[in-house]
Structure 1
Amino acid sequence: MPSGTPPTSSLPPTRRRVFTALMLALPLLFFAFLEGALRLSGFGEDWPLFVPVPGHEDYLYQNREVARRYFVREQTLPTSISDAFKARKDTATFRLFVQGGSSAAGYPYYYGGSFSRMLEQRLQQTFPERSIEIVNTAMAAVNSYTLLDLADEIIEQAPDAVLIYAGHNEYYGALGVASAESLGRARWLVNTYLRLQRLRVVQALRVLLVKASALLSGRRAGAPPGSTLMERMVGEQAIPYGSRRFEQGLEQFRGNLRDLLARYRDRGIPVFIGTVASNERDHRPFISAPSPGVDREAWSARYRSARARLEAGDPEVALAAYDALLAQDSLDANVFFDRGRALEQLHWYREARASYLAAKDRDQLRFRAPEAINRIIREEAARAGATVVDTQRRLADAATNGIIGHDLMLEHLHPNVDGYFLIADAFYEALREAGLIGPWQHYVPSRTARAEILLTPVDSLYGVYRVRQLMGSWPFQPPGVVDHAMDTVRATNEVERLALALFRREMNWLEATSRLRDHYAASGDYHAALRAALAIIQQYPFLPEAYAAAGDLLLRQRRYAEALT
């Protein structure tokens, strides 16, 4: 036998165990060494959820880099509305956290246009003796993976309740089953990665994998010019209703939501979870097609004939034609959508809404949550003892003919200001029914609350500009087409000038809102100036100068008692 290390079978038992232990330890030692080397070199970050406010360390706010946990390809990260809250919670404080995606964050208005800010203001008026804190952690393009990953850090901040409005991003949100930022479709694998991703070795490995993937696919890492985050997140466009990928998205949502609700339940934290709403009537499906085995040419001819009857003002004949098509195949979203139009023209509104919802479910570009998401929300909430807030029903009840459309939605799924207020109103009433916080002796009627929301004209116009930008590219425009109309917009007054400067990132929100406040004050409109001043306080509760400016405006209105508080 050649000389060298003797086979382990010839070693004494004690030495054999030591040898085996060393062999097993070598990979661990190697990774420990590599981890230490990467940390010493400054590679990677921890990205905690909350960090101290610079210069005001007695307050915390959401780390603007926390989304780096979920986005590797993206250079421009989504962020929350950066609610500041006390680092040390006192006994007078009632603290709620909000979780969700862009709708929960208040896109496209953010700030006073988010439902959380509307709710916080109303609750503070309802309980003037308490300090109400609502910390909104929602970000665009995230889904249930992010919600679950952030839960432990939210729990560390002693929430009195958690509010959830989420479900639209389950397919294309970061790490979703059809996302460009996907790690695969095994839920255990993705959640394991999220638990380990603070390790520098794991971060380095993911960066290498992303670069290798970009090289192999012939794509340059980074965003194509003019694209939106919505466009960049889509990894797989067509996901037919009932397909394996469709079901995987539902399984992903159910599993993560079950774990999330269980985590809060085990800590005794009440959860209020909203059903998700979208544009039912006024948004045609993005991608529509019959089943693969259907003769497309014959199908298209019959569909065009039915639509011609509808456009000619003959909804009864059109309805019969649509029903005949659906008797042959029930996968085409456009047939259900136009059928809803025919039913609505016949004033059969309940049946029309059902057809619009069926069209949404069959839209193969999965930006809007299918109704199965709301079913899962109800089932998992019942399982965990969470409270379902039927925000979808609240919007439908307020919508024309009971069908949610452009009266409450800006595009496919983001509410307008009235829509966001209705979501806030639904959560307000749910908290009241649960009897949280204390005696509701100073109940604020919805009409009063709606009139006093702290959404400035600059925020509102900024939202209009954001939606125009979003709808100027795919999927609202054909692939490769970008509408640059916003590039030529010119301001005609001070509000437009400030909103454009904010939109074009020539000015930050604090500067724009401060200038708006001063503009109104100089023109003698102290009421509008005060609203802007209060919006600044809501965003920056730690700034003494913000309170001083509001106090001065109250004095100018001879509201002396309020100025002293």
Structure 2
Amino acid sequence: MTNDRPRLSRRKRAFFALALALAPLFFLEAMFRVTGVFGPEEPFSIVRDDRGVEMVQYNWNQVKPRFPPEKLGGTLRVMVFGGSTALGFPYQPRSSFGEMLAVMLEHSLPGLRVELINLGRVGMNSAEVAELLPRALEYQPDLVIVYSGHNEFIALDQGQLWVWASRTLGRVRTARAAGTVIKLGLGAAALSLQERVEPEPLAPPPASRVSEADFEEALVRYRQNLEAMAAACKEKKIPLALNTLTSNLAGWPPEDRVFPEGVPKDAQEQALEVVALVKDLCFQVRSRPGQGLTPEEVKARELLEQASIQAPGYAPLRFWSARLDLAGQVASSRLTDPPRDLLAAFNRALSEEAHTVSVHRAPPEINRIVRAVAKEQGLILAEHEWLGISLGLFDDHCHPGLQGQAEIARGIYTALLDEGFPRPPTEWSAYEFDLERFKADRKLDETFIHDIRVRMGVFLGLERDLPLHSELTRRQLKEAIATGPDDPLPALLLAAVHLHYGETAEAAAALKPWRKKQDRIQLALDRYFTRSVDLRGGALYFHLALDPGVPPLRGLLTSGIARDEKPRVRPGKPLPLSAFNARIDLN
């Protein structure tokens, strides 16, 4: 007997097979949405404080600030939007420029209470600010401050399709659940691997190239996002203050491992040799201030110009040329106001870098857009770009230290005064911001500063080989030693940095205060270090990555240097003495 039922076509069979395979995923997605789990976190929620009073809580940063749904009388409600700089990293957020600005305004405008609501978040870009802003405006701010632009180019090397796919999957709860499971599994596997494998210093991953089309598209989207912010504020008749962005132009060199397309191999090798030469010369200039540039350094300037002809668009050549000029002015004690030619040179180097590799700070094209939108839309504009060549204001590539945050606050304060907001300039009282008093009022004591300095020193020492023999890393660790004399950790880290550059005497000097406290050193080693650093028979042994392309602290520390006071067993087996390449005698 034959089967007369019509057979399904191949296309229909494939469709039903796919539907059957996807059915469990759709079921899980529906279940997650009904139960409310694995969903994207809403930016604002209503909670009750300890007294049972209803408050609005902002959920998109780890501090989760709260504020009343209705603004109190006599209060100037100021909302700050942006990434980690706006949040106040690494001191966040009680010492951000927003908090400092609030102090300045309250002292200058008697009778006014400033309610500062920091809505910053690490990694936030302008698209996320534009998405968040209309919802935040429902809570009646009197002023909106936006400091955003450093995160516009993250992941550009992966292409716009990848960026779109990542954002789309982030809204799918099943994908978020799968991601959580994968992260937990990878974390457990990494921990297990760490227990079995001896630590080895690892070179930084190669920098990622970006296309010109993706770079230009990111700029277009950035302008559109600023215009959307302006439109949202205008609709609510709320003043908007935009800010040009500042980054460590003079203290953080461009990526030097990737050349623009078309640069010959021999020109690349020549450029790298010249850059290495000038790095050492700049370090010598900083070591002997007041003597100006030597004929050798003038010759190096000429070599940079020649290499630039052979390797056009290679940002490090322009950066180190400007850095040599700046070092000469510092050494001659002639640097007063920021020279426009130096600022332009450093900006051009940053622009060349951004056109070649994916960068994590705003190139000058971003600031041009900020100025243009502010002018076209009639917005308040605060200028900060010039801070980038002020030595000592930054903790890393783009994050200002406390003094740098104070300078940004002063810039916004001046812009508001010039605009006559919230009162005419004649009603403002003169006030000079005192950073030391601010630190005391906010309990930014030595313990707090010490912990920040250690974390930043570790971050910098792990991330990359910084200019002037890791100048920023050294500075952070020296300040950590000064603010925490009972903690051996920064001394151990500083000694490792010195040894990385062959400075044995300086490493011994850093550890000298701890020679009779070897039990404390051992405790620090057990808590924070891999087997690449060991204390044996009254001597400290180091297994260092002496490759100049490897950051000085790479391979020395256990994953994440959390300040965990619980004693633990160091992972891995002790290394044989033959594996160590540096030694400091503590006896």
- TM-score, reference length from structure 1: 0.64
Paired residues for 1:284-295 under 5 Å: 284-295=253-264
Partner AA of 2:162 in structure 1? G
2:109–2:428 Cα contact (<8 Å) kept: yes
2:350–2:363 Cα contact (<8 Å) kept: yes
Partner of 1:445: 431
Partner of 2:216: 247
Q: Deviation digits for residues 445-496 of structure 1, max 9, x if unmatched?
A: 234466445342233223212312321323458xxxxx9x99x9995469x9
Q: Deviation digits for residues 86-117 of structure 1, max 9, x if unmatched?
A: 22213322101000111111111124321111
In 1, the alpha carbon distance for the partners of 2:237 and 2:429 equals 26
Partner of 1:13: none
Paired residues for 1:341-490 under 5 Å: 341-345=323-327, 347=329, 349-363=339-353, 364-393=357-386, 395=387, 403-405=389-391, 407-438=392-423, 441-448=427-434, 451-453=437-439, 454-455=441-442, 456-457=444-445, 458-475=447-464
Of 31, 50, 61, the residue aligned with 2:44 is: 50
1:408–1:416 Cα contact (<8 Å) kept: yes
Partner of 2:162: 184
Q: 1:283 to 1:191 in 2, by over 3 A?
A: closer
Q: 1:246 to 1:57 in 2, by over 3 A?
A: farther
| 1:224 CA drift (Å) | 6.5
In 2, the alpha carbon distance for the partners of 1:162 and 1:223 equals 45
Q: Deviation digits for residues 417-462 of structure 1, max 9, x if unmatched?
A: 1110011111112222222233563524234466445342233223
Q: 1:63 to 1:302 in 2, by over 3 A?
A: closer
Q: 1:462 to 1:119 in 2, by over 3 A?
A: farther
Paired residues for 1:148-163 under 5 Å: 148-163=130-145
Partner AA of 1:409 in structure 2? F
| 1:374 CA drift (Å) | 0.8
Of 283, 296, 314, the residue aligned with 1:332 is: 314
Partner of 1:14: none
User: What's the Cα RMSD here?
Assistant: 4.4
Q: 1:476 to 1:116 in 2, by over 3 A?
A: farther
Of 97, 100, 117, the residue aligned with 2:82 is: 100
In 1, the alpha carbon distance for the partners of 2:327 and 2:422 equals 46
In 1, the alpha carbon distance for the partners of 2:49 and 2:120 equals 21
Partner AA of 1:504 in structure 2? R
In 2, the alpha carbon distance for the partners of 1:130 and 1:98 equals 18
Paired residues for 1:298-337 under 5 Å: 298-301=267-270, 304-305=273-274, 308=277, 311=281, 313-337=295-319
Structure 2: any 5+ residue segments left out of the alignment?
A: 7-23, 195-203, 282-293, 330-334, 467-472, 491-523, 528-560, 567-587
Of 117, 140, 145, the residue aligned with 1:135 is: 117
In 1, the alpha carbon distance for the partners of 2:134 and 2:419 equals 24
1:179–1:236 Cα contact (<8 Å) kept: no
Q: 1:449 to 1:43 in 2, by over 3 A?
A: closer
In 2, the alpha carbon distance for the partners of 1:471 and 1:335 equals 22
Partner of 2:173: 203
In 2, the alpha carbon distance for the partners of 1:432 and 1:317 equals 48
In 1, the alpha carbon distance for the partners of 2:225 and 2:214 equals 17
| 1:192 CA drift (Å) | 7.8
2:206–2:257 Cα contact (<8 Å) kept: no
Partner of 1:21: none
Partner AA of 1:432 in structure 2? L
| 1:295 CA drift (Å) | 1.9
Q: Deviation digits for residues 187-225 of structure 1, max 9, x if unmatched?
A: xx888888xx4xxxx32245458979x99xxx9479977
In 2, the alpha carbon distance for the partners of 1:505 and 1:279 equals 31
Structure 1 residue matching 2:94: 3-state secondary structure: helix
In 2, the alpha carbon distance for the partners of 1:359 and 1:329 equals 13
Structure 1 residue matching 2:373: 3-state secondary structure: helix
Of 491, 504, 526, the residue aligned with 2:563 is: 504
Structure 1 residue matching 2:146: 3-state secondary structure: strand
| 1:168 CA drift (Å) | 0.9
Q: 1:238 to 1:54 in 2, by over 3 A?
A: same
Q: 1:40 to 1:294 in 2, by over 3 A?
A: closer
Of 219, 225, 238, the residue aligned with 1:269 is: 238
Structure 2 residue matching 1:473: 3-state secondary structure: helix
Q: 1:315 to 1:304 in 2, by over 3 A?
A: same
1:60–1:86 Cα contact (<8 Å) kept: yes
Partner of 1:72: none
| 1:389 CA drift (Å) | 0.7
Structure 2 residue matching 1:471: 3-state secondary structure: helix
Partner AA of 2:563 in structure 1? R
In 2, the alpha carbon distance for the partners of 1:236 and 1:378 equals 34
1:83–1:134 Cα contact (<8 Å) kept: no
In 2, the alpha carbon distance for the partners of 1:392 and 1:506 equals 41
2:274–2:304 Cα contact (<8 Å) kept: no
Determine if the alignment matches structure 1 residue 123 to structure 2 residue 105.
yes
1:289–1:333 Cα contact (<8 Å) kept: no
Structure 2 residue matching 1:446: 3-state secondary structure: coil
In 1, the alpha carbon distance for the partners of 2:462 and 2:303 equals 34
Q: 1:124 to 1:222 in 2, by over 3 A?
A: farther
Partner AA of 1:474 in structure 2? E
Q: 1:32 to 1:439 in 2, by over 3 A?
A: farther
Q: 1:382 to 1:332 in 2, by over 3 A?
A: same
Aligned length: 430
Q: 1:31 to 1:306 in 2, by over 3 A?
A: closer
| 1:327 CA drift (Å) | 2.7
Q: 1:3 to 1:411 in 2, by over 3 A?
A: closer
Q: 1:289 to 1:468 in 2, by over 3 A?
A: same
Q: Deviation digits for residues 502-536 of structure 1, max 9, x if unmatched?
A: 972779xxxxxxxxxxxxxxxxxxxxxxxxxxxxx
Structure 2 residue matching 1:278: 3-state secondary structure: coil
Q: 1:308 to 1:460 in 2, by over 3 A?
A: closer
Partner AA of 2:265 in structure 1? R
Q: Deviation digits for residues 41-83 of structure 1, max 9, x if unmatched?
A: 443346332332542453635444x3xxxxxxxxxxxx25444
Deviates more, 1:349-358 or 1:95-104: 349-358
Partner AA of 1:384 in structure 2? Q
In 2, the alpha carbon distance for the partners of 1:3 and 1:464 equals 77
Partner AA of 2:420 in structure 1? G
- TM-score, reference length from structure 2: 0.62
| 1:281 CA drift (Å) | 1.4
Of 153, 162, 169, the residue aligned with 1:171 is: 153
